[in-house]
Amino acid sequence: DGGITQSPKYLFRKEGQNVTLSCEQNLNHDAMYWYRQDPGQGLRLIYYSQIVNDFQKGDIAEGYSVSREKKESFPLTVTSAQKNPTAFYLCASSVGLLSSYNEQFFGPGTRLTVL
């Protein structure tokens, strides 16, 4: 899992609550990503960021929000607007977004369960 840490490993949320998932990297990577993984499905892109203070919506951004105030950190907030948030969330980083031949490095993931 390289130099990317995610916390917590497990997270439980009550309906109507917002929760924030942490992602930190010490690889000095410019680009960071959030993916959602559901059983039997591939990874779906939620948000990505190429540089500090800039981020773009991915394919399934509704009900999620992010910030990129520091190069090392890219927290994801799962809001109450996300109707089916139970999933495994993966954070990743890469050297550069425009250098799209670079592979991504993934964190160990956070498993979110709605009670």
Partner 1 sequence: AQSVAQPEDQVNVAEGNPLTVKCTYSVSGNPYLFWYVQYPNRGLQFLLKYITGDNLVKGSYGFEAEFNKSQTSFHLKKPSALVSDSALYFCAVRDRGTNAGKSTFGDGTTLTVKP
Query: Which residues of this chain interact with partner 1, rule CB under 8 A?
Result: 1, 4, 6, 31, 35, 40-43, 45, 48, 50, 58, 90, 92, 94, 96-101, 103-109, 111
Nearer to partner 1, 19 or 47 (CB): 47
Nearer to partner 1, 10 or 69 (CB): 10
Q: Give DSSP secondary structure letters for the chain.
A: -TTEEEE-SEEEE-TT--EEEEEEE-S--SEEEEEEE-TTS-EEEEEEEEETTEEEE-SS-TTEEE--SBTTB--EEE-TT-S---EEEEEEEES-SSSTTSPPEE---EEEEE-
Give me the least distance between CB of 16 and partner 1, in Å please.
27
